């Protein structure tokens, strides 16, 4: 049972344009969400997070939106740069007491120069 889903395995965007990566979840008990970026042969790198009490969080070129009623979150990258080409994972955490993250299967973003 995939509780966190990233339905687009890949996405191509022109440099300078907006990249939008989507993530859906099924467990309404999730209350903390994160996005990680992963390059080949490296571990995931933390990008941005959002608590369920918020609906938006920004950090530079990265913005995460959370729609709790739709159980959907998205990551916007503006403007997209070639160095953003990587696999992006969304992750969800439920409650406290442990750092068990549930990850999606990832979306491979390719930013075309």
Partner 1 sequence: KAGVTQTPRYLIKTRGQQVTLSCSPISGHRSVSWYQQTPGQGLQFLFEYFSETQRNKGNFPGRFSGRQFSNSRSEMNVSTLELGDSALYLCASSRDPTGQGTKETQYFGPGTRLLVL
> Residue numbers of the site for partner 1 (CB under 8 A)?
4, 32, 34, 36, 41-46, 49, 51, 89, 91, 93, 96-106
* Rounded least distance, CB 17 to partner 1, Å: 26
Closest contact distance (angstroms) between CB of 47 and partner 1 is 10
Q: N- to C-terminal Cα distance for the chain?
A: 38
* Nearest to partner 1 of 20, 48 (CB atom): 48
Question: Which is it for the CA torsion 100, 102, 37, 87, positive or negative?
Answer: positive
> Rounded distance, CA 88 to CA 95, Å?
23
- Cβ 13 to partner 1, closest distance in Å? 22
């Amino acid at each position: 049972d995939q509780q966190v889903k990233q339905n687009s395995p890949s996405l191509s965007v022109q440099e300078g344009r907006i990249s939008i990566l989507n993530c859906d979840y099924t467990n309404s008990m999730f209350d903390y969400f994160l996005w990680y970026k992963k390059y080949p042969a490296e571990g995931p790198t933390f990008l941005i997070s959002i608590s369920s009490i918020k609906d938006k969080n920004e950090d530079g070129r990265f913005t995460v939106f959370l729609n709790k009623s739709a159980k959907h979150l998205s990551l916007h990258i503006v403007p997209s740069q070639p160095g953003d080409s990587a696999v992006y994972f969304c992750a969800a955490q439920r409650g406290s007491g442990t750092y068990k993250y549930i990850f999606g299967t990832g979306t491979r973003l390719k930013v075309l120069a």
